Structure 1
Amino acid sequence: MFIIDAHLDMALNAIEWNRDYRLSAYQLRELEADLTDKIDRAKGTVSLPDLRRGNIGLVVATQIARFNQSNGNLPGAGWNSPEQAWAMTQAQRAWYETMVDAGEMVQILDRASLENHLTLWLDESIANDKKPVGYILSLEGADSIVNLSYLEKAYNYGLRALGPAHYSTGRYAPGTGLTGPLTAQGRELVKEMDRLGIILDATHLTDDGFTEALSLYKGPVWASHHNCRALVPHQRQLTDDQIKQLTERDGVVGGCFDAWMMKPGFTQRVSNPTEFGISLETIIDHYDHICQLTGNSQHIAIGSDLDGTYGIEQSPSDLDTIADLQNLTGLLTKRGYSPEDIENIFHKNWLRFLRGAWR
């Protein structure tokens, strides 16, 4: 079945982790076998061949570059100025564009390009390895927007979604691990997003930031990669009230496959998903919770965040590569989900959202 994944940090991996995503996940693991600079070396799960193998034909692909004046070791640390962060996002954009030039990917910008891409991917007479993977460009954390004039520049090259916050402090919004509202710049950013028609991603916002952003922003809102706070108590997760606020606006929540967000007590970089009993089925507990809150399956989907600076050491134990997302079909069926429900989760909910946003 066709899958849409609403959160993959592909360019971060390509540029800062130096991964050639035209190779399979297995080939990349072999190349990284002797590297020790990152805990997730030789453990990646994502690649363009594996996306095609898993019938994942459309993704929301990110740019991400933080500003925190940390003088930290790169890759992966924050940059010492917003201008440097912007430059990194442009390197990431260039990678996506070279993948387009190579026929590996295609950028989805509007309703027409979305429908054309769907027609291609739903044509079973064409092999998946002959199809480019579609991507919708999103910015995770707004630190790299040097000033508001840069937001329109980004829209003009194809930015279609933006999450103002990421982890810790931010120029526009505090993020995961902090409290407090949007900054003064953040309020203006959200208003400018509304004017331009850029989708608001509520992921990583603080509780105060979430409430304020949804109040200021009148357009379409999604939570690209989130799970339920009722099941895993942490500020990174959505409360029941936040889920209800999103669904009242016909928003969609992309279930995240980062192990620590799936089951309480898992310690990042320490715990083992197998020993902890975290599998693909664990995400269905979060789906069930949202279905019970909303009364239907129309607000849950996939936003895997696989290879989001972690690999198989922090992914569901029965997921070897991203292609294994297809195994959710049987697991959802066993849990009582109908074929229509599964289609909603795999792609129809994201499609409904995008068609509504891009009228």
Structure 2
Amino acid sequence: MLNRVTNSASNTVIVDAQQNIAFNAQQLGLDYASWAWRQRAKDSPPGKPPAVTSLRDNLLARVAIVFGSLQVLSESTPGLASWQRYTYRTAADARQLALWQMDFYRRLADEHDRIRLIQTREDLDQVRQTWRDETEIDKRVQGLVVKMKGAEPVAEPKQLEEWLEYGIRVVAPAWYPTRYSASAGVDGGLTLLGYELLDVMAGYNVLLDISAMSEPAAADALEAYGGAIIASHSNPRYFHDDPRCLSDEQIHRIAERDGVIGIMMYNRFLRRDWHPNDRKRQVTASHWVEAVDYVCQLTGSVAHVGLGSDIDGAYPYHALPAAIDTSSDLWLLNRALRDGGFSEAEAAEILGGNMLRKLEESLPDG
């Protein structure tokens, strides 16, 4: 029997723990302030993925808080697409690319009164106040949590303080291999620099994201880090046997640490027999619910699973579930969860409450 939640779901909102907002602005020139469909109407280079997310689409779906990543690509990243123009060779290059993205997020918050950068609990509370039922729809504000997706831009661990001042609150040591950690499918664990980075993170209570770390590196981090932990966008390996996905042992270990796993909306990770040539309609929101339920059944609780959609992760359009055209459709997950047997209160925890819990634990007062 699953542990039941008791808090009211009348003000259900979504927390999406993975969107590549600044990366897509940098690499694709996408305008987050415009509707996704308007972005699609513009001329696009061959192979460019479609615009899927935007501020307007997210607000329409009640995505109250989004984790926007700082993501930079090494020039040696396998399978680089022609549109992925900006890559790094050195840590200094990575820093400059990430600084551009950080500045992009800060400008978004400065220029749009419906975006607020979340760096403190006070910021979080102010955003949540705008999502009360009595608040007019056009007064609702989206909170933006900046996450470093791969720590290569941090020249040395002690420099993390500088990045925290810029506004990041979540760090994933690896996406592809970094000086700090091996990544999924790569031999190795945390490096000595990686342990030093965790020590600095602990001093500032930074939220640790173990997504995309190698299994040994993630185990090292779970053992060494005493602060709050998430896997922002990681699916159960049960549905796709790939080192990028989480083993049952990892899921159990994350739950033991009261961590939260954000389930992605990438068809390859939702249906084990999915093939890139399959049509979009062959995967639905119910497949996402199955992945959510798998984590719940394995851990005996709804407390350790959330949403990390990654729907703008450079996938071809048909690699997203049938119901998902833009991020405005993320609200359909609420009905899919209810149809899948989850109560209203459980759906509220899965869609937002669990990730909010981790944010509240890790943010400083202010």
**TM class, shorter-length:** over 0.9
Contact 1:256 1:305 in 2 (8 A): yes
Q: CA deviation at 1:274?
A: 2.4
Tell me the TM-score normalized by structure 2. Answer: 0.90
Q: CA deviation at 1:231?
A: 2.1
Q: 1:192 pairs with 200, 225, 228, which one?
A: 200
1:214 aligned onto 2:222:
yes
Look up the match of 1:24.
35
Contact 1:67 1:144 in 2 (8 A): no
Look up the match of 1:272.
278
Question: Following superposition of structure 1 onto structure 2, how do residues 1-359 of structure 1 map, counting pairs within 5 Å?
Answer: 1-32=12-43, 35-40=44-49, 43-68=50-75, 75=84, 78-103=87-112, 104-127=114-137, 129-167=138-176, 169-267=177-275, 270-274=276-280, 277-358=282-363
CA distance in 1 between partners of 2:204 and 2:277 (Å): 43
CA distance in 1 between partners of 2:129 and 2:135 (Å): 11
Structure 1 counterpart of 2:73, which letter?
Answer: R
Q: CA deviation at 1:70?
A: 6.7
Q: CA deviation at 1:56?
A: 0.7
Contact 1:45 1:311 in 2 (8 A): no
Aligned residues: 350
Q: State the secondary structure of the residue aligned to 1:152.
A: helix
Encode CA deviations 1:71-109: one digit per residue, 9 max, x unaligned: 976636641111111111111111111111112421011
Q: CA deviation at 1:251?
A: 0.6
- Indicate the larger mover: 115-124 or 12-21: 115-124
Task: Name structure 2 gaps, 5 residues minimum.
Answer: 1-11
Contact 2:267 2:283 in 1 (8 A): yes
CA distance in 2 between partners of 1:144 and 1:99 (Å): 21
CA distance in 2 between partners of 1:78 and 1:188 (Å): 26
Contact 1:255 1:286 in 2 (8 A): yes
Structure 2 counterpart of 1:309, which letter?
Answer: A
Contact 1:67 1:82 in 2 (8 A): no
Contact 2:206 2:363 in 1 (8 A): no
Task: Name structure 1 gaps, 5 residues minimum.
Answer: none
Point out 4+ residue stretches in structure 1 off by more than 6 angstroms: none
Encode CA deviations 1:257-316: one digit per residue, 9 max, x unaligned: 11211112434xx333426x2111111111111111111211111110111122523211
Quickly say closer, same or farther: Cα 1:177–1:68, change in 2 above 3 A. farther
Structure 1 counterpart of 2:125, which letter?
Answer: E
What is the root-mean-square deviation of aligned Cα atoms in Å? 1.9
Q: State the secondary structure of the residue aligned to 2:73.
A: coil
Contact 2:265 2:320 in 1 (8 A): yes
CA distance in 2 between partners of 1:100 and 1:36 (Å): 29
Q: State the secondary structure of the residue aligned to 1:14.
A: helix
Q: CA deviation at 1:213?
A: 1.0
Contact 1:24 1:47 in 2 (8 A): yes
Contact 1:6 1:302 in 2 (8 A): yes
Quickly say closer, same or farther: Cα 1:160–1:274, change in 2 above 3 A. same
Quickly say closer, same or farther: Cα 1:219–1:70, change in 2 above 3 A. closer
Structure 2 counterpart of 1:252, which letter?
Answer: V
CA distance in 2 between partners of 1:248 and 1:273 (Å): 38
Structure 2 counterpart of 1:7, which letter?
Answer: Q
- Indicate the larger mover: 248-257 or 101-110: 101-110
Structure 2 counterpart of 1:256, which letter?
Answer: M
